[in-house]
Amino acid sequence: MASLVTDVLLANTDLLEKEDLGTRIGKLSTHIDEIKGEIYHAVHEKYANYRPTRDSTQELHNKVQTLSTEMQTLSNKIKGDISSQLNSSTSDLHDLTRQLEKTNAIIDVLQSLCKVNSLLTDFQSFVQNGEFLQAADAVNELKSDLDVLIEDGYCELKIVKALRSELRVNQETLLHHLGEAWSAMTVWTIPHAKEPVTLTNVSQVQLKVVNIENAAVTVNAMKQVGILKSKMQVFGKKLMDYILKPVVMLSNVAPSINATKKSQSTTVGFKVLPKSSEEASDPVAVYKSTLAILKALSGPLLSLKTEGKNGDENTTLMAMLGEYVWPELSKCIITHCLVHSIPTSSSKLNEYKAVITATEGFEASLRKTGFIAETASPLLTYARDVNVHFANKKCQELIVEARKLMKRELHNTKRVGTMKVDNKDVKDQKQDTKDKCHVSEGIFALPECAVSESIECLVNLAYQTLQEAASNTPQCAIQLFYTVRNMFEIFCDVVPTYHRDSLQKLPQVCALHHNNCMYIAHHLLTLGHQYRQSLPPPLCDGTSTFVDLIPVFRKLASECFLAQMRIQRDQLVESLSGAEGFDQVATDDNFLACERAIKQVVHQLGHLQRVWTDILPSNIYTKAMSTLINTVLMHIVEKVSSLEDISADDAQQLHSLLSGLQDRIPHLIKPGEVEEPVLVQSTVDQWTSFSELLFMLDASMQDIVDRWAEGKGPLAMVFSASDVKSLIRAIFQNTDRRATALAKIR
């Protein structure tokens, strides 16, 4: 009986506990809905409608905490004691569990909203008190909580949207205050943004760095919100453009540093020194000024450290600045300082060791301050490769100097080669001792001629370069040797192009260009062999030669001069065309036309004699003039021989005109200062034909027959029988005597 009563009581107790749990959960749900409404109303009024409300945040927060505690107790009760006894009532347990989960979810959202509200309130206090690091942490935590709400699907709630908007406002507020704090730490006074720093405005540049109380807090807060790198990049860009570049690029300015303990600030400016004779800054002075600037900025600003979180490494602003500035700074120092300090003479290479030592000390000091890493050494690498840079700089200057020489006017001349005095070959006394060693004797002797002074300087420059290569390091020697080759190869492109108009229009310049090319080719024969034993391998093994360039220069000389010869030939033929084929010269008009044509030819040949006789070698001059005269005589012989009717007066006038030309030709062929007569017959192929034509114009019929001498006389050596017969028919009338004479010409 007792057991039965006990079972009934226990069953009733379980039933009462289940009913009590349902009642308590129902009451809690109702209470949660009430508090949810109060929280929503309070947050919505504050962050969505921006209406002033009574501050009941703490009261609501306490209510939420009380509900949370009660729900936790109830949850433990269900999971622990009650659930084991409700196996028979599975459906009731599931309902209670679902209701509990729903209630817990609402509690989590309410807790998140309360936490967000608390963070927003704390943020305002942090910003007002200058606690930027705590404010940054609050913003980051606030963003994280809102991200959780959004991920849980509450992004469309008006209250969440309002809080996200408030978060953006707070972020911008923090960035604004941090920016103002950074601006208070680094105060710039610079010229107009678009104006580069020059001597005229460098005195206007000033950087003032103030050591404020919460500088370290500000820097770490900037790192927390992710703007420190961008601020340092902008600072480094300004420091490079307005402070460091002027130190490197302006040789007569020096930094002016003023540090005041009272205001805890350091000011960096510039002072202009007296004008320096050096165009580029001294590397040692640049290193000293750069270190002074970085040391001045290190105390109040660049020595600050950033505290790492989440595994981030601690670093200093000096290291960050070096990461952004050093690549450009080192390149600037190399371009505007070290390049100009490289010596241009091998004798001064030993003096450059001081620059290398100063560069080593400069980089060591930068590593000590943390400005650069241990492996960064572009300056020292450049400075130690002085031999390579010396060769590059020297070669570049040589090419520039060579191009200048090639672009000079060609008509300034100088006599070179050998000349004959008392039947002995001697050197031109106008050449200096250095020129004498350039010109080989015997079979390699250069005939006397005129060359351009600029080309002689070019050849001397090649000899000087090879002389320096012979006494330099192997790498420099090879570079200098091939620079000489480049000089001559550039000549083949620059001179014909740059002087194209002069070479086409001026026979004198064309003749000089011919001589210049032959003069260079003459020296190229032995240029490499003279220094072969003094050059390093592989040059001394047979590659130190320029003989492969000789055909190029000879072809360049001949092509240009032959083109000028064709121009002169065409002009002579055009002048002779004005004689109208030498027909009927007995008439006044035709006589004047023929006389004008002959005078034009003589004048043109005389002009060529004046401009060529002192320039070209005597053999080249004689050959060139003989070729042109031969063309003139060939044209005259051809035109006169083709005439069908030559009257006695025409023959007389023709003989008179052409005899004058015959008298002038030997003087035109003869070079100016040569005393020995020139055999015209051996140089002008048409000379004999021209002489025999003149003879026929002034001879009798019998004299012509006698000079023919049955095909064995002088006349038969230059004219065919048909040509002689044609001239006899043109000159003499048709008579029995003419028929008899024609019969003897066979």
**Could you tell me the CATH number of the domain that includes residue 616?**
1.10.357.150
Average pLDDT, 10 consecutive residues per value, the chain (746 residues): 41 50 70 70 62 58 72 70 54 65 62 61 65 69 65 61 68 78 85 74 84 80 84 89 88 84 78 70 88 84 73 75 89 85 71 82 87 76 74 85 92 78 39 44 76 94 89 82 92 93 93 94 88 78 82 94 94 90 85 91 93 91 93 92 88 89 88 67 89 90 89 88 90 88 87
The residue segments making up the domain with residue 337 are: 190-384
Q: Find where tokens 């290479």 sit.
A: 349
For the chain, the domain total comes to 4
Separation of CA 685 from chain center = 58
Which pLDDT belongs to residue 346?
A: 67
Q: Report residue 655: phi and psi, to 5°.
A: -60, -40
Q: Are residues 269 and 312 located together in one domain of the fold?
A: yes
Query: 3-class DSSP state for residue 551?
Result: helix
pLDDT of residue 408: 92
Apex 737 CA angle, 734 and 741, nearest 5: 100
Length of the chain, in residues = 746
Dist. CA 676–CA 670, nearest whole Å: 9
* φ and ψ at residue 657, rounded to 5 degrees: -65, -45
The backbone region for 161, taken as left when phi is positive above 0, alpha when psi lies in -120 to 50, beta otherwise, is: alpha
Same-domain check for residues 594 and 665 = yes
Last residue of a domain, one of 333, 361, 384: 384
3-state DSSP of 331-381 = HHHHHHHHHHHCCCCHHHCHHHHHHHHHHHHHHHHHHHHCCCCCCCCHHHH
Which token pair is 617?
């070698």
Q: Would you state the pLDDT for residue 427? A: 41
Judge whether 237 lies within some domain: yes
User: Cβ distance 318 to 229 under 8 Å?
Assistant: no
Task: For residue 321, give the nearest of 203, 474, 219, 197 by alpha carbon.
Answer: 219
pLDDT score of 400: 92
Domain boundary (182, 210, 245) is at 182
User: Which has the closest alpha carbon to 655: 707, 600, 693?
Assistant: 693
Both 75 and 19 in one domain: the answer is yes
Smallest CA-to-CA distance from 603 within 631, 575, 640 is with: 575
Spell out the residues 6+ positions from residue 555 whose beta carbon is closer than 8 angstroms to its own: none
pLDDT at site 461: 94
Determine the longest span between alpha carbons in the chain, in angstroms.
191
Alpha helices in 211-282 (DSSP H): 215-225, 228-239, 245-249
The neighbouring-strand residues paired with 257 are 268
Statement to judge: residues 221 and 200 lie in one domain:
yes
Please indicate, yes or no, if residue 226 is contained in any of the structural domains: yes
554 in a structural domain: no
Phi first, then psi, for residue 349 (nearest 5°) are: -65, -35
Residue 555 lies in a domain: no
Half-sphere exposure of 424 (CA within 13 A, CB side): 3
DSSP 82: I
Whether residue 218 lies inside any domain: the answer is yes
Q: Are residues 96 and 118 in the same domain?
A: yes
Per-residue pLDDT at 440: 43
Looking at the fold, whether 519 and 441 belong to one and the same domain comes out as: yes
Is 320 inside any structural domain? Answer: yes
User: Phi/psi zone of residue 636: left (φ > 0), alpha (ψ -120 to 50 degrees), beta?
Assistant: alpha
Asked whether residue 217 falls in the same domain as residue 178, the answer is: no
Considering the domain boundaries, does residue 201 fall inside one? Answer: yes
What does the block give as tokens for 461? 């420059």
Same domain, 130 and 44: yes
- Residue 215, by phi and psi: left (phi above 0), alpha (psi -120 to 50) or beta? alpha
Residues 35 and 138 in one domain: yes
Of 564, 561, 549, 412, nearest to 491 by C-alpha is: 549
DSSP readout, 143-188?
A: HHHHHHHHHTT-TTSHHHHHHHHHHHHHHHHHHHHHHHHHHHHEEE
* 500 inside domain: yes
Retrieve residue 612's tokens. 């060529």
Non-local (6+) Cβ contacts of 445 within 8 A are 417, 418, 425, 439
Whether residue 48 contacts residue 80, with contact meaning beta carbons closer than 8 Å, is answered with no
Q: How many Cα atoms sit within 13 Å of 37 on the Cβ side?
A: 5
Return the sign of the alpha-carbon dihedral for residues 143, 312, 218, 269: negative
CA-based Rg of the chain, rounded to a whole angstrom? 53
| 478 close to 539: Cβ distance less than 8 angstroms | yes
Q: Are 412 and 476 in contact (CB under 8 A)?
A: no
CA distance 278 to 309: 51
Residue 222 sits in the same domain as residue 340: yes
Q: Are 617 and 728 in the same domain?
A: yes
Instruction: Among 523, 549, 575, give the residue marking a domain's end.
Output: 549
Compute the distance between CA of residue 343 and CA of residue 339 in angstroms, rounded to an integer. Answer: 9
Q: Show the tokens assigned to 24.
A: 């308590």
- Verify that 120 and 145 share a domain, yes or no: yes
